[in-house]
Amino acid sequence: FDSERLRFRAFNAEVDVPIFQQWWKDPEIMQYQTPNSIRLFQEETTEERFKSWFRDDDSAVGFVMVLKETEEPIGFINLWGIKPKNQNAELGILIGRKDLWGQGLGKESLRLMLHYAFSELNLHRVTLHVFSTNERAIRAYQSVGFVEEGRLREEIYRAGRWIDSVVMGILKHEYLEQNPL
């Protein structure tokens, strides 16, 4: 499925693994990733590990984001920890093309994924965690309807200082108020 400038496609190991590994070697891209993510990315990432991130089963679904014009991968987005009984999941997103930061592609991909989450998966709630220092991401999340639900104070020590982790969420009815299906 797609939006004005983006298309979500399935993971293609041959094409995507080398690109993702390149992104994960870039400290500027990785500065906002969680400690668990960083540990995974610093290890030699195998094709099987990548496939597990993009599986499509009851607990997770993920997509590679590509520019519609060129079909070039620019990042990935996924829902994980899907709990069908409670109809909730956690969202993760990474835009690896730094030259495209600040152009609204994050918002566009969030809207597309939320539409999928609420219309196709029939989720009731989507949550995410973001570092308090990632102000651009927080603004993007707020612009599509996420609200701050809590804060894990001084959760991570990075670059000589403690950083809070902000918990954000959006409910289906909140999303539908802004974006009718």
141 catalytic? Reply is: yes
Q: Among residues 116, 141, 157, 175, which one is catalytic?
A: 141
Q: Which residues of 97-124 are buried (b: 16+ CB within 10 A; e: fewer)?
A: beebeeeebbebbbbbbbebbbeeeebe
DSSP-derived secondary structure letter, 63: E
Q: For residues 74 and 68, give the distance between their C-alpha atoms in angstroms, rounded to a whole number.
A: 11
Q: For residues 109 and 138, give the distance between their C-alpha atoms in angstroms, rounded to a whole number.
A: 14
DSSP codes, 133-180: T-HHHHHHHHHTT-EEEEEEEEEEEETTEEEEEEEEEEEHHHHHHHS-
Q: What are phi and psi of 140, to 5 degrees?
A: -65, -45
List the catalytic residues: 141
